[in-house]
A and B are shown apart, each in its own frame.
Chain A
Amino acid sequence: SQELEQSPQSLIVQEGKNLTINCTSSKTLYGLYWYKQKYGEGLIFLMMLQKGGEEKSHEKITAKLDEKKQQSSLHITASQPSHAGIYLCGAAQGGSEKLVFGKGTKLTVNP
């Protein structure tokens, strides 16, 4: 079965700094999702990537999927306390509707 490894597991940054979270798959990714979870809230859909080399941006968050479609990165520019939370990558398993998730990256942004 497909496994997703996220790194780092946790990250503490000063407000205004840039940061990157990585998600690596043991198999080719047919659909890579990024979600954000804040404590006490649900999972918020951020972006979905499907094509090798694809890059999407939303406000200060940019996600990329590498050409080989086995690794994705999430980059936050000029981080803010509102970016704090747990970021999860998820991937369609074998092209099916089942999503498997990484264990998440806990981001803390200090003012």
Chain B
Amino acid sequence: DTAVSQTPKYLVTQMGNDKSIKCEQNLGHDTMYWYKQDSKKFLKIMFSYNNKELIINETVPNRFSPKSPDKAHLNLHINSLELGDSAVYFCASSQIPGNTIYFGEGSWLTVV
């Protein structure tokens, strides 16, 4: 039973397309996150939701829109994909903000 699961794991798409990455956690956590890992393996937070409310919104193009239908899900929708969006996107969750964060396996996005 995967604690934090993301789909799809691999995604190759053309520039200009719109795509979504889904995330679900079965840990009963209140807080969920999206992190982006770039080609240099640098990991940066993008968004965080606590009880379905947005609490962290880093400087991210507004083509990226997170959606949290409930506490167990945090999806990431990306409009008008660009080459620079190619990266690994990690979903994560924690019991509450500030607690240990548990990561999903990552979604490898390649924009061509």
Contact = CB atoms under 8 A, between A and B. Distances in A.
Nearest to B42: A103
Instruction: Tell me the dominant secondary structure on chain A's binding face.
Output: strand
Nearest to B98: A97
A94 B41 CA distance: 23
Interface residues of B, number: 23
Contacts, number: 55
Interface stretch (B12-20, B70-78, B100-108): B100-108
Contact of A45 (B48, B55, B102): B102
Interface in B65-83: none
Interface of A: 31, 33, 35, 40-45, 48, 86, 88, 90, 92, 95-101, 103-104
A-B pairs, top 10 by smallest CB distance, nearest first, are: A97-B97, A42-B105, A43-B103, A101-B43, A42-B103, A97-B98, A104-B41, A42-B104, A42-B106, A103-B42
Given A98-B45, A103-B42, 6 more contacts: A43-B92, A43-B103, A45-B100, A45-B102, A97-B97, A103-B40
Interface of B: 4, 31, 40-45, 48, 55-56, 90, 92, 94, 97-98, 100-106
